[in-house]
Chain A
Amino acid sequence: MGYLIASNLEQALASMRDSKGKARVVAGATDLYLQKLPDKLIDITAIPETTKIEQIDGNLTIGSTVTHTAAAGSPLVRSKATALAEACSLIGSPQLRNIGTVGGNVINAAPAADAAVALVALGANAALINTAGEYREEKVEDLYKDYNLSLIDTSSEIMLRLIIETCVGGEGSAFVRFASRKALSLPLVNAAARVRIVEGRLKDILLVVAPVRPAPTRLLHTEEMLRGMSASEETWRSAETAAAAEVDVRNSLLRCSVQYRRHLVGVLAGRALKKAAERAVGREEGDYR
């Protein structure tokens, strides 16, 4: 059979084993026709393990085949992983968001995929299972081999879900992007941040921008510089300067010049941090909304 809609995980894995590397996993399939078609497709969107959004203890888990529309509209994602809800609401167009999936956004490995950028800023891990039944969890940013090339082998491995430590009291996250149009437009640059504020000062910071390298890129120096600084306009201005200086970007005919991109990295990093910090302050400690 050429196209199998697997109804459960075991059926999908067994079918992959039988196909000996000639089948590929597919979810939303929005990028399928941009690539060479495989002999067989195994659709995992009906496998229950990949479809749920759940709060389990201190983690928010998002099934890999949850659509961007579902993630953007989910009260759980909106309150506990706000950056991801924002990113998903801005991807492509309604038609693409209705069928494209959060897991696919990572596996397709586009360097500035909006959901993937938000996931890295949220510190998300991906849960994977292979045809030998081995389960593993990897940081999302460690799943990239090269531009548009994932380390996940979709002929032998299935992404089950994404796992995010939920934002709690004193924490907030945000995603921002800049593109030439409001819809159906590649971001020239996008950025996302997650911060924890304790007594008015930045404590934990994750700051991510793209496209800089094949994977969404954390700005470790800027994060380090910001630690302990007050959540103020002055801090966001210095974050802009530090972020712009930290990235090694290049001219791109597809996106923009190196100078413009460096400028955008700074501005968007500052905006993402500011927005995340405002949300962190708005959320009282111990507030698990």
Chain B
Amino acid sequence: MKNQLINFHLNGEPVEVYADPADNLLQLLREQLGLFGTKAGCGKGECGACTVILDNQAVNSCLVPAGKVQGRRIETIEILSRGNKIHPIQEAFVEKGAIQCGFCTPGMIMSAYALLKENPQPTSEEIKVAISGNLCRCSGYIQIEEAILCAAEKIKDRIKDSGDKR
């Protein structure tokens, strides 16, 4: 298709790109916007490596036409860290050894991020459902589940601490 102007919010900032609206969001993020954190896996919605957040919900960016994100809010793995400071979910993944080859990690973390925003204290079963669209071929699912439980605790503690300071 012919390029068209697409405006949306990316990681909290307004962006404007001139792109083929039939390209997928994953291509747009990686090839036009230079955000390589989101991984390209299967390209057909089966592996979850390309998971990003579209208006607070996890989606496979490889299946979202770029034209569809007009006016929407997209969050990618890049939103979670600022300089050397990483997000509690990322800390928990490191501490629990939930990363082996690392290829599924950004997608896993974004699925966890979407879950914890909606449900800050999930059960193990809810975590399993939330990451059921993310394949880890190193099969480190148990550590990933532990990391997400741990991240939920960390976030709860931080909210409590910041409340105490106030």
Contacts and interface: CB of A to CB of B under 8 A. Distances in A.
A32 B63 contact: yes
Contacts of B21: 2-3, 41
Interface in A187-226: none
A90 to B, nearest CB: 10
Interface stretch (B30-38, B90-98, B127-135): B127-135
Given A2-B22, A94-B129, A29 B59 contact: no
A34 interface: yes
A1 interface: yes
Interface residues of A, number: 28
Contacts of B60: 30, 95-96, 99
A95 B51 CA distance: 8
A255 B141 CA distance: 26
Q: Interface extent on B, as a size class? A: 35 or more
B65 A41 contact: yes
Interface in B29-72: 43-46, 48, 51, 54, 57-60, 62-68, 70-71
Contacts of B130: 94
Given A3-B65, A99-B64, A33 B58 contact: no
A33 B43 CA distance: 9
Interface string A94-135: 111011000000000000000000000000000000000000
Contacts of A43: 67-68
A51 interface: no
26 contacts: A1-B4, A2-B4, A2-B22, A3-B1, A3-B4, A3-B21, A3-B65, A3-B66, A29-B68, A30-B45, A30-B63, A33-B43, A37-B22, A43-B67, A43-B68, A69-B57, A93-B48, A93-B134, A94-B58, A94-B130, A95-B51, A95-B60, A95-B111, A96-B60, A98-B58, A183-B132
Rank and list the top 10 A-B pairs by shortest CB-CB distance, nearest first. Answer: A93-B133, A3-B67, A3-B21, A2-B1, A183-B132, A98-B57, A95-B133, A95-B60, A2-B21, A30-B63
Interface of A: 1-5, 26, 29-30, 32-34, 37, 39-41, 43, 45, 69, 92-96, 98-99, 182-184
Given A2-B21, A98-B58, A99-B64, 16 more contacts: A2-B1, A2-B2, A3-B1, A32-B63, A41-B21, A41-B22, A43-B67, A43-B68, A92-B45, A94-B133, A95-B45, A96-B60, A98-B54, A183-B132, A184-B46, A184-B133
